Amino acid sequence: MNSHGQYEQQVVWVVVGTDIGPLLLAATHDGLVNVVFHATDAVRDKALDRLASRLGSEPVEAPDSPLLAEAIQQMTAYFAGELRDFELPLDWSLISGFNRQVLRELASGVPYGAVVGYGDLAGRVGQPRAAQAVGVAMGSNPLPVVVPCHRVVESNGGIGGFGGGLETKRKLLALEGVLPEPLF
């Protein structure tokens, strides 16, 4: 318990190397809570400060934590092409409301190797005119890769935006066979 009588959430983290660069993985007792792209020292420190502020506990680097072991193993298998579906407990506490509803639908309803349009995803959650709001939800996704916002594309065939950068989105879609592998 902290000085305000609130229970603090233990947060552990690790940075793992992947084909799309270093990813910060953070977890609580409830599950994986955050995945951060391009986890250089500066990006990592900013993300950890944000987690401390949001969750009320200073994140602790713990590469051997049992709370992270399965996430590390599954992330490694995904990038090796050996895993199509993440089966991890997720802590959804960093997101709420419409954004959480959209991300849960994305996680459960858009399988590996498939894509969905922003408007189509909006329709799936009963808000067919909320394509732009779906874009906002994708941009606020605290669990990218695991909750596959890279699978959301424009209805006209465009790739759309991506918080991890368009090159990262292209690499993830190529890994899943949606796009051809880059030539160089």
Catalytic residues: 149
CB-based contact 154:46 (threshold 8 Å): no
DSSP 3-state of 25 = strand
181 in Cβ contact with 19 (< 8 Å): no
* In contact, 38 and 22? CB cutoff 8 Å: yes
In terms of Cβ atoms closer than 10 Å to its own Cβ (0-12, 13-18, 19+), residue 42 is exposed
Exposed/middle/buried for residue 82 (C-beta within 10 Å: 0-12, 13-18, 19+): exposed
